Chains A and B, each alone.
Chain A
Amino acid sequence: GENVEQHPSTLSVQEGDSAVIKCTYSDSASNYFPWYKQELGKRPQLIIDIRSNVGEKKDQRIAVTLNKTAKHFSLHITETQPEDSAVYFCENTGNQFYFGTGTSLTVIP
């Protein structure tokens, strides 16, 4: 069935390195792709989003890329810092809504 697959489920990087999380979807009607960050004990919050008419969007150290042909979109965090440690969720929405299973990112000081 149609869904979204998020990888990896856990990711550890050294402070200053980059982190990439990828989501693959199958619903060709998907046209909105947000990413959320959930810090321990807190609510998930939107950190960046992209719509289907754009291939890349950047906000300081965070960027999202979208490949509609291959049906995947990725979150890129550069120059990682300990405060980036959290669980990250992807989502894609079109006619239906799909939520990723989350990636636990740990940035090692």
Chain B
Amino acid sequence: GAVVSQHPSRVICKSGTSVKIECRSLDFQATTMFWYRQFPKQSLMLMATSNEGSKATYEQGVEKDKFLINHASLTLSTLTVTSAHPEDSSFYICSARGLLQPQHFGDGTRLSIL
């Protein structure tokens, strides 16, 4: 079945570092990719929706200059957390979907900023 690969699975870095997370759809072309953030024991919070070749649509309250999203192809989207600070520590998860298809989620990235 469809698989979404997300890397890295875990990142620990110093405050001020920029971190890039990749999300790849391995055996299907994703018309749309989504980026979520999840705090412990809380729901998935949608951050942005990304369509190939166009600018991402950010949810209210999400800083687009802080969380840069690039959807360069139908199989790859990247999220870059720029100048990360401890409050950015969280679990970030991506998903990809085709038209009127369910989302296929990546395994997530645990980001820890020291």
Interface: A19 (CB within 8 A): no
Residues of B within 8 A of A51 (CB): 100
Say which size band chain B's interface belongs to. Answer: 10 to 19
Are the C-beta atoms of A93 and B100 separated by less than 8 Å?
yes
- Nearest CB to that of A89 among chain B residues? B44
B61 within 8 Å of A (CB atoms): no
* A97 and B100 within 8 A (CB): no
Q: Is the CB of A34 within 8 A of B103?
A: yes
Contact of A29 with B by CB under 8 A: no
Interface 1/0 per residue, A25-53 and B, CB below 8 Å: 00000011010101000111110010100
User: Residue A101 at the B interface, CB < 8 A?
Assistant: yes
Bound CA–CA A106/B32 (angstroms): 32
CA A96 to CA B100, docked complex, whole Å: 11
A-side interface residues, number (CB < 8 Å): 21
The main secondary structure of chain A at its interface with chain B is strand
Q: Which residue of B lies closest to A94 (CB)?
A: B100
What residues on A are CB-neighbors of B32 within 8 Å?
97
Tell me the complex Cα distance, A34–B98, Å. Answer: 13
Q: A32-B100, A93-B100, A97-B49 are in contact. Are A43 and B43 (CB under 8 A)?
A: no
Give the complex CA separation of A104 and B46 in angstroms: 18
| A10 → chain B closest CB, angstroms | 11
The reply to whether B108 and A43 form a contact with Cβ atoms under 8 Å apart is yes
A91 touches B103 (CB 8 A): yes
Residues 57-114 (chain B) with a chain A CB within 8 angstroms: 93, 95, 100, 102-108
- Complex interface residues of chain A between 58 and 99 (CB less than 8 A to chain B): 87, 89, 91, 93, 97, 99
Nearest-CB residue, chain A, relative to B46:
A99
For B32, the closest partner residue in chain A by CB is A97
Given A31-B100, A34-B102, A46-B102: 7 more A-B contacts, CB < 8 Å: A36-B102, A44-B93, A44-B105, A46-B103, A49-B102, A97-B34, A104-B41
- Pairs A-B, 4 closest by C-beta atoms: A102-B43, A43-B105, A46-B102, A34-B102
